């Protein structure tokens, strides 16, 4: 599944023209998604880095998987997309930071905050990886300031990244987060508990060029 040019920052590793594609559908407030994200950073990225064993052969695409039964899921994904627009190179660092503090956005902690307060909190979190000016731009993108039901400045990106994968998920039988696809097909054997050894074995079996 292609990405619109403005969302190329969701390719978090590997060259855009890599022959193989690893899609991972994750929610920022899913504990298992957090484990997989950590593995992507510590195990997968080194293997597919330019000087890695599979350098140039695999790209990894982050797929926003909003889980609407968690009230703050929409807000955290909005924040990720706002950072992607303001500072594309910091999308993945911010995503990792979000996964680190995900418990602050779980159902019970988030229930004590309004939607506006959650968005403000996320904008402040963005300042841990962005400049002060960039964080201010993220805050601006997360404000509700159009029509009474018009959403934020990144609502359209959220529709693209979330609604499209939902359809994509259906046709591929994706029901849980996280889910990994290899070249468009569900890789059901992938586990969020995998380390470098398991990922290296996976690539050894899957990379054919």
Task: With beta carbons less than 8 A apart as the criterion, state whether 87 and 97 touch.
Answer: no
Query: Which pLDDT score is estimated for 145?
Result: 86
**Exposure of 157 in the CB half-sphere (CA atoms within 13 A):** 24
Cα 55 from chain centroid (whole Å): 22
Which range has the worst mean pLDDT, 3-7, 24-28, 35-39, 87-91?
Answer: 3-7
Identify the residue with better confidence: 166 or 202.
202
Residues 6 or more apart in contact with residue 166 via CB below 8 angstroms:
none
Max alpha carbon distance in the chain (Å)? 52
Confidence of residue 163 (pLDDT cuts 50, 70, 90): low
pLDDT score at 5: 80
pLDDT of residue 1 exceeding 60: no
List, in order of start, the domains of the chain with CATH numbers: 5-206 (3.40.30.10)
Partners of residue 181 on adjacent β-strands: 23, 186
Max avg pLDDT among 51-60, 65-74, 150-159, 174-183:
51-60
- Work out the pLDDT band at 99, boundaries 50, 70, 90: very high
CA distances from 26 to 62, 64, 109, 145, 163 (A): 8, 6, 21, 28, 14
Q: Is 136 exposed, middle or buried (0-12, 13-18, 19+ CB in 10 A)?
A: middle
Position 19 scores a pLDDT of 96
Q: How far apart, in whole angstroms, are the C-alpha atoms of residue 3 and residue 153?
A: 19
**Between residues 146 and 25, the one the model is more confident about:** 25
Tell me which residue of 206, 208, 196 sits closest to 44, measured CA to CA.
196
Q: Residue 177: its pLDDT value, please?
A: 81
CB atoms within 10 A of CB 164: 16
Q: Which of 204, 209, 208, 195 is nearest to 41 (CA)?
A: 195
Q: Region 129-158: what's the mean pLDDT? A: 92
């Amino acid at each position: 599944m292609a990405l619109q040019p403005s969302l190329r920052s969701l390719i978090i590793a590997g060259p855009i023209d890599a022959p193989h594609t690893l899609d991972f559908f994750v929610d920022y407030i899913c504990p298992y998604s957090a484990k997989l994200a950590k593995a992507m950073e510590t195990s997968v990225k080194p293997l597919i880095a330019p000087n890695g064993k599979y350098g140039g052969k695999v790209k990894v695409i982050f797929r926003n998987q909003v889980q609407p039964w968690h009230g703050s899921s929409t807000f955290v994904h909005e924040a990720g997309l706002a950072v992607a627009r303001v500072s594309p190179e910091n999308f993945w660092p911010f995503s990792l930071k979000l996964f680190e503090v995900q418990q602050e956005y779980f159902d019970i902690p988030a229930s004590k905050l309004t939607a506006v307060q959650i968005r403000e909190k996320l904008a402040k979190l963005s300042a841990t990886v962005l400049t002060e000016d960039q964080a201010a731009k993220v805050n601006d993108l997360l404000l509700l300031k159009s029509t009474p039901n018009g959403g934020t400045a990144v609502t359209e990106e959220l529709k693209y990244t979330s609604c499209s994968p939902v359809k994509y998920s259906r046709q591929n039988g994706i029901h849980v987060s996280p889910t990994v696809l290899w070249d468009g097909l569900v890789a059901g054997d992938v586990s969020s508990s995998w380390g470098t050894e398991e990922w290296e074995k996976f690539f050894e079996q899957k990379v054919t060029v």
